[in-house]
Amino acid sequence: MITIKGLSKVFQSRDHQVKAVDNLDLTIEKGEIFGVIGYSGAGKSTFIRLLNRLEEPSGGQVTIENQEITGLSKKALRLTRQEIGMIFQHFHLLWSRTVKDNIAFPLEIAGMPKEERHARVQELIELVGLSGRENAYPSQLSGGQKQRVGIARALANNPKVLLCDEATSALDPETTDSILDLLVDINKKLGLTIILITHEMHVIRKICHRVAVMEDGKVVEQGDVLDVFLHPEKPVTRKFVDQVMGDTEQAHSLELIHQNYASGKILKLHFVGENTNQALITELARNFTVDINILHGKITQTQKGAYGTLIVHVTGDSEETDRAIAYIKETSVEVEVNPNA
C-alpha cells in the first residue's frame, strides 16, 4: 500500500511562489493500477516525481509498504529507488547501448554478477515482447519498441511499484493500446502496483482500476473508474469523460431534437456491466404504446466492466410515456429525463 499525506511542492521564483502540488492526500492499494489525470499544469508530473524524490517535497509524507520515502537519507533513498521503477514519455534510453545493454544498465549499477544479469535481461526481453531485437540500438527501434525497452529496464530490479509519467503520450493510438495491454499483463503476472500519469481519459478507461483527477495541484475527484464515468462531479472530470463518451455529439443531437420536436421527452439512459446487453428498447416498444427514436449511443469498456449511454426521444400519450419511464427506473438502467423536453 502507498499512503500519501499532505504532500506539497512549492516552486519559488524571484517574484512569487507556485504551488505545483498542494496538500495532497491519497491511498493506493497494493497491486492496483491507479491513474492520475489532469490537464497541462495540473501538477500531476510533479506529483509522480515526488513519489521517488526526483523532486524533493516541500512538505508531507510518502509511505510505500511501511517505509517513509520522504524521511530517507540519500544513501537509503538510492537503495529504495531500486524498488520503484519509472518509465517516461520520451523513453530516456542510452543511445550508444543496445536493447539488452540498456536493460542491463540498472543491474550493472546494482552489482549483479554477469551471468545472473544476462539471464535476467533475457527474461525481461521475452516479457515485453522484444525477442529478436536484443542487439538493436534505439535509433533502429519504433516508438513502441523503445517504450518496451524502457519498461523492461524499469522492471530489471524487481520493483514493487512502477511509475509511468505520460508513458504513451508520444505514441500513436494503435501503439498506445499495445503498451497499455502490456502494462495490464505485467500487473497481472507480477502483482505490480502501477501509478500512471496521463492527460488522456482513454488510457484511464482502458487499464486503471481507480483514478484521481488533479487540477491546480489538488485532487478534486477520485474513485473507481466506472463510478467516475457514471457520475463525474467536477467540470474538469466531465470534460475528461467527454473525451471517451462523445458528449459533444450528444449535446448536438439534443439541440437538434429540441429545434425539430415540440412534444415528447428526451431520455438519457446509462447501462452498466451486463445491462449493456439488455434489450430495453425492444421491451419498451412491446409493452408500451410509445414511439422511440434513438438519437445517440456509445458503449465503452473499463477494467470494472462495460459502460454505455443511449439518448432516445420518446413520444406518445403523456400517461403512457410516464409508465414507460417508471418501467425503466425499475430496472438497473439509470435514466435521466431531460428537463427542457
* Residue 82 near residue 29 (C-beta atoms within 8 A): no
Residue 127 lies in a domain: yes
Residue 125: pLDDT band by 50, 70, 90 thresholds? very high
Assess whether 112 and 208 both reside in one domain.
yes
Residue 34: inside a domain, yes or no?
Answer: yes
The cell for 123 is 527474461
What's the pLDDT tens digit per position in 81-110? 889 999 988 888 999 999 999 999 999 988
Using CA atoms, how far apart are residues 245 and 230, in angstroms rounded to an integer?
A: 11
Contact criterion met (CB below 8 Å) for 179 and 168: yes
Cα atoms in the Cβ-side hemisphere of radius 13 Å centred on 245:
30
- Is the model more confident about 66 or about 300? 66
Question: Do residues 232 and 221 touch, judged by C-beta distance below 8 A?
Answer: yes
Q: What are the tens digits of pLDDT across the range 302-324? A: 777 777 788 888 888 888 888 88
Same domain, 17 and 87: yes
Q: Which pLDDT does position 128 carry in this prediction?
A: 95
Residue 282 lies in a domain: yes
What's the whole-number mean pLDDT along residues 129-137?
94
Which pLDDT band holds residue 71 (cuts at 50, 70, 90)?
confident
Residue 269 has pLDDT above 90, yes or no: no
Give SS3 for 305. Answer: strand
266-305 burial by CB neighbour count: b if 16+ within 10 A, else e? bbbbbbbeebbeeebeeebeeebebebeebbeeebebbbe
Question: What local confidence, expressed as pLDDT, does residue 82 receive?
Answer: 87
Last residue of a domain, one of 234, 261, 291: 234
Kindly state whether residues 59 and 139 are assigned to the same domain.
yes
Q: Check pLDDT > 80 for residue 326.
A: yes
- Among residues 234, 255, 277, the one where a domain terminates is 234
What are the Cα distances from residue 286, in Å, to 24, 283, 297, 334? 53, 5, 21, 20
Beta strands 84-88 and 161-165 are parallel
173-223, pLDDT tens digit by residue? Answer: 899 999 999 999 999 999 999 999 999 888 998 899 999 999 999 999 999
Q: Has residue 128 been placed in a domain? A: yes
CATH number at residue 328: 3.30.70.260
Note the pLDDT of residue 59: 94
Whichever domain contains 44, its CATH number is 3.40.50.300
| Pair 151, 268 in one domain | no
Largest CA distance in the chain: 80
Q: Which domain holds residue 144?
A: 2-234
Pair (270, 331) in one structural domain: yes
Task: Report whether pLDDT(341) > 50.
Answer: no
Which ranges in 110-172 belong to alpha helices (H)? 114-127, 143-155
**DSSP assigned state of 259:** H
d(CA 54, CA 43): 14
Co-location of 162 and 272 in the same domain? no
pLDDT, residue 221, reads 95
pLDDT at residue 132 tops 80: yes
- Rounded Cα distance between 87 and 167, Å, is 6
Of 234, 255, 273, which residue constitutes the final position of a domain?
Answer: 234
Tell me: pLDDT of 251 over 70: no
Whether residue 152 is found in the same domain as residue 260: no
Residues 216, 71, single domain; the answer is yes
Percentage of the chain surpassing pLDDT 70?
92
Which among 68, 47, 65, 72 has a CA at the least distance from the CA of 57? Answer: 47
Interior angle at CA 314, CA 308 and CA 315, nearest 5: 175
- The number of folded domains in the chain is 2
Whether 24 and 127 share a structural domain: yes
Is position 15 within any domain?
A: yes
Strand-strand pairing, 265-272 and 290-302: unpaired
Rounded to an integer, the average pLDDT of 266-274 is: 78
Buried b (16+ CB within 10 A) or exposed e, 47-60: bbbbbbbebebbeb
Q: How many CA atoms lie within 13 A of 51 on its CB side?
A: 31
Residues 219 and 106 in one domain: yes
Looking at the structure, do residues 195 and 296 belong to the same domain, yes or no?
no
The pLDDT value given to residue 84: 93
State mean pLDDT over 32-61.
Answer: 94
Which three three-digit cell numbers place residue 287? 409493452
Choose between 331 and 112: higher pLDDT.
112
Residue carrying C-alpha cell 516479457: 127
Is residue 241 a part of any domain in this protein?
A: no
> Which three cell numbers, joined as nine digits, stand for 261?
420536436
Give mean pLDDT, residues 24-39. Answer: 95
Q: Are 271 and 310 in contact (CB under 8 A)?
A: yes
Burial group, residue 226, by CB count within 10 angstroms (0-12, 13-18, 19+): buried
Contact yes or no for 11/62 (Cβ under 8 A): no
Q: Look at residue 240 and tell me if it is in a domain.
A: no
pLDDT at position 214 is: 95
Give domain status of residue 126, yes or no: yes
Q: In the numeric block, which cell numbers belong to residue 157? A: 530490479
Dist. CA 284–CA 327, nearest whole Å:
8
Check whether residue 121 and residue 259 sit in a common domain.
no
